[in-house]
Structure 1
Amino acid sequence: MKKLLFVAFFWFALAMPTEASTLQQQIDDAAPGATITVEGEHTGNFIITKPLTLLGEKGAVIHAEGSNPALTIEQTQDVVVRALAFTAKQRAVVVKDAEHIVIKDVRAKDMNIGIQVHRTKHVEIEGAIIEGPEGHYAKKGNGLALFESEDLKIHHNFITNVQDGLYIEEIKGIHVYDNTVSHSRYGTHFMHTDDGLIENNMFEHNVTGLMVMMVDGFEARHNGLRYHHALNGSGMLLYDVKNASISDNQLLENRVGLVMQTCEAIEVEGNYFEVNQTAIEATRIDDASIVRNNTFTGNILTARSDQKGLSLRANTYDDYEGIDVDEDGYGDTSYMAYSSFGQWMVRQPAYQYFVASPSVELLTKLDSQTKVEQQVLVDEKPRIMTQRRETLPRNYRQVIVGGMIVFLIGLLWKRSVRQ
């Protein structure tokens, strides 16, 4: 009898559905538009092909089995995935050939790619926390990888320790806002994506905060780009970009704040360039591009460019030595950001190691006293930097003690003279 019970129990255990098949079975059996509450941990490669909401309870985790994605959403619409954690060797979540997809408050750690989207319309990714594995970024994938899709809203995500925080290629209509990306190669990387808007993001401790390449129509505003110190690092780099607006950003403590290469019709306005090694570097820029109404403080070099030059207008410079006699808010003499050393550094980046050396400072001073035939890097009407003087409260105790010390020193000196 015991033997029969053992055999029956054995076959019953084999017939029990696994954890993975249970969740997939729920997905397969659910009516379109249903909500599935996910509890506990599940291992497998789950697929959604119908309108559905997947809602995780506290502690709900989906582990990918093998190298396939933990969750795939394909050939469907109206899918919501919320409050789930994922682990995967390669990709945590893949979305392809779908519409109206919302991914919110998910977590992915130690995967190669966090969320990957292909050929999908109307996507919102909000509140994701994505952290890549340890190691060099060249061996990692991207936090969010977005391809050939339309109408995307990417906001309030935190991404760190990946190759590119957001890799964006061939997207029509994308709004990237209120994200934080750190310790990666590029914070955000735009490729062949026209008319994108990126605002209110924080990029820090990457190689380059924002990389924009081969784009016609782009706007970056109210972003923070700071602490990009690598040899080839920069806060923001534009390459082969046309018709872009760069406004009201803060570029702080970067090797180069803003790099522009082979660009046309770029407006750089209202930004704060603070404590960068070089604030702006420009090569092969057209005459329609302009840098105006920006503030430059604490930068070693304000700007450097190739011989075609860069148009500077009505910016504020902390090293401007002119005066404003008529008090109209503008200097009475022009500001020259030209630096022969800066020009050399464009061609020989290794020269940056001599920045702030006594010889370079002397050379820069001589530049300011020399009229340059080519009117490169000259702001004809610089704004005057308003300086606020604060009157410090007097420390009377310190004054009294100091006076007593001076009095005693005087007495001792008199005694020594008499003796």
Structure 2
Amino acid sequence: MRRVALLVCIGAVLHANILQEAINKAKPGARLDLPKGVLKGSITINKPLMLVGHDTIIDGEGKGTVIKVRSSNVILQDLTIRNSGKEHEKVDAGISVKDAAFVQIRNCKILNSLFGIDLQNVKNSKIIGNYITSKPFPLGIRGDGVRLWYSNDNVLKNNHLYKSRDFVVWYSHGNLIEGNIGEYGRYSLHFMYAGKNIVRKNIYKHNSVGIFFMYSRDTIAENNIVMSSLGTTGMGIGLKDASNFVIKNNTILYCAKGMYIDRSPFEPGQSNKIVGNKILYNSIGMHFHSLSTDNVITKNIFKGNMENVYDDSGQGRIHAVMNKWYENYWDDYQGIDKDGDGIGDIPYTLYYYADKLWLLNPNVRFFYASPVISILNFLYKLAPISEPIKLLSDPKPLMYEEGVS
């Protein structure tokens, strides 16, 4: 790769036209080393090229997208990109990549930009080690930190999104999303009409929603940590019309709803496997909404939740019981293990009492751990005034959470 040093005085504040001229003159495949300083304005890259910053800031001055990549085989590295425009309909972004492949964006800081990195029809590219934050707008009108649109087979790894809106993956398949951090956003990761993606080893905290899979299939989510998804819509991991998923070895804690399952699996004959997750200290551990049957739910730990499982299907229909539950650890299991095999001798059965439903009102749930509510909860179990409804039965409950591997 041919190296070209851009002649800019160190510490200078110049217009990005100088950089654009250097890009226009550079031969395809050249490397441009950008020295310390601020370049004001926007640039477009329409040939294979490598831009490497050395304390270099590219400032969009609040107008449009700061860097547009319109070629394959482009590398952006060690740049600070800031101050995009603020028009949603134009998707004003720090970096916009369209109709390209084999693009790399590494170790860049994207600051005060409506959208962070916008990928449209991009494949076989790597987005690694970037820090992204949006404009200081109310949550719903910030832009997305990372946005994939019809973009396949990409690696998005070790990025940190802070106070953006969403990390969205729409109509995009075969992507690896690994080791990212998302904080103080709305959807820390949101899928729509996507398949065969892998989501692993990410940390999402203090967002409205952790990971939400919608109208999607054939995806693995494993070894993620989702915590403190609060508010009326707060959930750790959600499945909506989702089929053939593996949700494995995740830790979900301190959320309003640990897992939310709505009409999943969606396709007949399909299943979702929910295995080995730690569902801890949530208001509701697992929330079933609408028709959701034939999920395999095993080897999970349900501990410290106000309610381990809740079903609001309505019309007297309970769907939680129509899933396959076995070998989960339940902190409220009251059976014994005479033969010492680590499995309870009697099934764990969870019942629903109609006269207890008011306790699940969000306004009441705030007081759920208080002594008064605990006594009322005990009395309903001891002497219910309504016929209980079976919510679920686990025929082989684990006696010890250490038995979950």
Q: TM-score, normalised by structure 1?
A: 0.82
- SS of structure 2 residue aligned to 1:47: strand
CA drift at 1:376: 2.5
Q: How many residues align?
A: 368
Which of 295, 313, 316 is the matching residue for 2:329?
Answer: 316
- Structure 1 residues 256, 217: CA separation in 2 closer, same or farther (over 3 Å shift)? same
Provide the residue aligned with 1:251 in structure 2. Answer: 252
Aligned position for 1:394 = none
Q: What secondary structure sits across from 1:77 in the alignment? A: coil
The answer to whether the 8 A contact 2:354-2:388 is kept is: no
Corresponding residue for residue 385 of structure 1: 400
Which whole-Å CA distance do the structure 2 matches of 1:346 and 1:144 have between them? Answer: 39
2:220 touches 2:246 (CA, 8 Å); kept in 1? yes
Q: CA deviation at 1:364?
A: 4.2
Distance 1:327 1:204 in 2: 39
Once residues 387 and 216 of structure 1 are traced to their aligned partners in structure 2, the CA distance between those partners, rounded to angstroms, is: 31
Report whether the alignment pairs 1:272 with 2:270: no
* Conserved? CA contact 1:173–1:196, under 8 Å: yes
Q: Which amino acid aligns with 1:81?
A: L
User: Unpaired runs of 5+ in structure 1?
Assistant: 1-17, 389-419
Match of 1:218 in 2: 219
In 1, Cα distance between the equivalents of 2:348 and 2:211? Answer: 29
- The residue type paired with residue 222 of structure 1 is N
Matched, 1:297 2:303: yes
**Matching of residue 60 in structure 1 with residue 49 in structure 2:** no
Q: For 2:126 and 2:217, how far apart are their aligned partners in 1?
A: 24
Q: Deviations over 1:57-79 (max 9, x none)?
A: 1x2010114422111011x2111
Tell me if structure 2 keeps the 8 A contact 1:132–1:161.
yes
Residues 112 and 141 in structure 1, CA contact (< 8 A), matched pair in contact too? yes
Deviations 1:7-50 (A, max 9, x none): xxxxxxxxxxx632211111000011000011221112201111
CA contact (8 A) 2:359 2:365 kept: no
Structure 1 residue aligned with 2:345: 332
**Which range moved further: 331-340 or 169-178?**
331-340
State, as a whole percentage, how many aligned pairs show the same letter: 26
The change in CA–CA distance for 1:131 and 1:345 in structure 2 (over 3 A counts) is: farther
Distance in 2, Cα, partners of 1:345 & 1:220: 34
The runs of 4+ residues in structure 1 deviating greater than 6 Å are 370-373
**Are the equivalent residues in 1 in contact too, given 2:41–2:61 (CA < 8 A)?**
yes
1:106 is matched with 108
Question: Which of 12, 24, 31 is the aligned partner of 2:20?
Answer: 24
Deviations 1:73-101 (CA, angstroms, capped at 9, x unpaired): 11x21110000001123311100011110
Q: Classify 1:373/1:229 alpha carbon distance in 2 versus 1 (closer, same or farther; 3 Å).
A: closer
SS of the counterpart of 1:28? helix
Q: Which residue of 1 aligns with 2:268?
A: none
1:156-175 correspondence to structure 2 within 5 Å: 156-164=158-166, 166-175=167-176
Maintained 8 Å contact 1:200/1:223: yes
More helix per residue: 1 or 2? 1
Distance in 2, matches of 1:124 and 1:386, equals: 38
CA distance in 2, matches of 1:285, 1:358: 35
Which residue of structure 1 lines up, in the alignment, with residue 88 of structure 2? none
Distance 1:66 1:224 in 2: 35
Structure 2 CA distance for aligned equivalents of residues 135 and 196 of structure 1: 31
CA distance in 1, matches of 2:401, 2:21: 68
Match 2:83 to one of 68, 88, 91: 88
CA contact (8 A) 1:46 1:71 kept: yes
**Take 1:144 and 1:105, find their aligned partners in 2: how far apart are those partners?**
14
